[in-house]
Amino acid sequence: MIVKKTINGISCFIVPKKGFIQKQAMAVVRFGSDTAGFKTQSAAFKIPAGTAHFIEHLMFSSPQGNLMDSFSRLGAEANAFTAFDKTAYYFTCAEHFYENLERLIKMVFTRQFTCTDIDAERKIIAEEINMYRDDARWQCYFSLLKCLYPGLAVSNEIAGSIKDINTIDENILNACYDAFYRPENIAVIAAGDIDCDKICETVEKNSVSKVGELPEIESVAENTPENAYTEKYMDISTPFLYAGFKENNTSVSAENTVKMRIMLECMAGECSPLFGRLLKEESVDTPFGFEYLKGRNYGAGLFFGESKAPEKTAECILKEIENSVKNGFVNAEAVVKKQRGELIMQTESVNGICMPIADCFSKNIDFLDILKLYDTIDIDGLSLQKPQFMAASVVKGSRSKQN
């Protein structure tokens, strides 16, 4: 991976893949749904939930029509997403890479928010919010986050609520764009059979410099967690659960990220004793998924999956977390080898390499450090601190009783 910085401050992460037909480029902005407010030298702003996602939608609007079509005409598939700590815009193509890159950079650095576009996107986003109301996994996920982080923006759905988006106006959208869509807050990630110098030249030529400094992110005090269990009823055939814990470690580092991923899989992954027991008892049929959720003022280890006995399964997971604090981990060496292999396999595709680099950029950690740590990690030194709080969220199926 080649790392460069343009004159105006954009970080460029370039992964040459000689002989690859597919190419991908991604522009990543360190601004997501977990930011609730910010201060500049002249003003302070409260950000309604869903604002970062709203901007993502608007960036594809232009007087000439939807910019998705302009990428398609050049043979590229373009898309975007908003996460807790970032917004990303990207395309994949086999030809016309540099023309598409030029369009991507111009799009990110051009603000064209009109009242007409804002009203139109508000309706589209409302439909998206309503669609997620029927997604059991999504509802289960955010119910757990509300248990773990009451009052923090990370517990709000990324698109916000209908009420939230109705409060978003041109003034707050412009303020957030001006504050966060700045060269020093943006990275361009590219992978494929590409030329490093030409990428940097294209990025520099089609971006702009901005005066001033990045804003100060508002620090919000979270409420004390009280609810350790939440339950919903939806029209599903098999119950779904999330269970997890708030960690005590507030630092964001490559080392902590790798250690937590290893420990989570040791606790409840496919090769864990816990999964073996639950499979034998027929409480579950498929392995749990797991996620290390980490941001500026939050950090949590989460497990999720379907279960025929969700309350019992959630209880077993939470007990396994407590046991791991006391007794450590028995299968760490195998998990390290598995995760290392998966990460290397992921870097062998242009689709797979850009995403983890984007995630590292949004957290101010080095992707190369992640790779190195899997070779040097001291598995005997793995130790899980006692969690601040643990909780579980369950969605059960019932046609007669729905929330």
Is 103 in the same domain as 191?
Answer: yes
Q: Residue 47 falls within a domain, yes or no?
A: yes
Dist CA 319 CA 312 (whole Å): 11
What was the pLDDT predicted at 403? 43
Where is the domain boundary, 168, 195, 217?
A: 217
Q: Residue 222 falls within a domain, yes or no?
A: no
Q: What percent of the chain has pLDDT over 90?
A: 75
pLDDT tens, position by position, 11-48: 999 999 999 999 999 999 999 999 999 998 888 999 99
Question: Confidence band (pLDDT; 50, 70, 90) for 401?
Answer: very low
Taking the CA of residue 152 as centre, how many other CA atoms within 13 Å lie in the half-sphere pointing to its CB?
24
Work out the average pLDDT over 213-239. 86
∠ at Cα 154 (152, 158), nearest 5°? Answer: 130
pLDDT tens, position by position, 106-145: 999 998 898 999 999 999 999 999 999 999 999 999 999 9
Tell whether the model's pLDDT for residue 328 goes beyond 70.
yes
Q: Residue 106 falls within a domain, yes or no?
A: yes
Is 122 in the same domain as 263?
Answer: no
Is 146 in the same domain as 201?
Answer: yes
Q: Residue 131 falls within a domain, yes or no?
A: yes
What was the pLDDT predicted at 40? 86
What was the pLDDT predicted at 65? 66
Tell whether the model's pLDDT for residue 222 goes beyond 80.
no
Tell whether the model's pLDDT for residue 360 goes beyond 60.
yes
Work out the average pLDDT over 222-248. 90
What was the pLDDT predicted at 190? 97
Dist CA 347 CA 353 (whole Å): 5
How many domains in the chain? 2
CA dihedral 319, 325, 330, 331 (to 10 degrees): 80
Q: Residue 223 falls within a domain, yes or no?
A: no
Is 385 in the same domain as 250?
Answer: yes
CATH value at residue 18: 3.30.830.10
Is 300 in the same domain as 348?
Answer: yes
Dist CA 317 CA 312 (whole Å): 9
What was the pLDDT predicted at 211? 76
Tell whether the model's pLDDT for residue 210 goes beyond 70.
yes
CB 132 within 8 A of CB 156: no
Question: Confidence band (pLDDT; 50, 70, 90) for 400?
Answer: very low
Dist CA 19 CA 64 (whole Å): 35
CB 202 within 8 A of CB 105: yes
Q: Residue 247 falls within a domain, yes or no?
A: yes
Round the average pLDDT of the chain to a whole number and report it.
92
Dist CA 8 CA 200 (whole Å): 11
Tokens of 135: 């997604």
What was the pLDDT predicted at 402? 44
Residues β-bridged to residue 66: 61
pLDDT tens, position by position, 236-259: 999 999 999 999 877 889 999 999
Is 191 in the same domain as 243?
Answer: no
Give the residue numbers spanning the domain of 30: 2-217
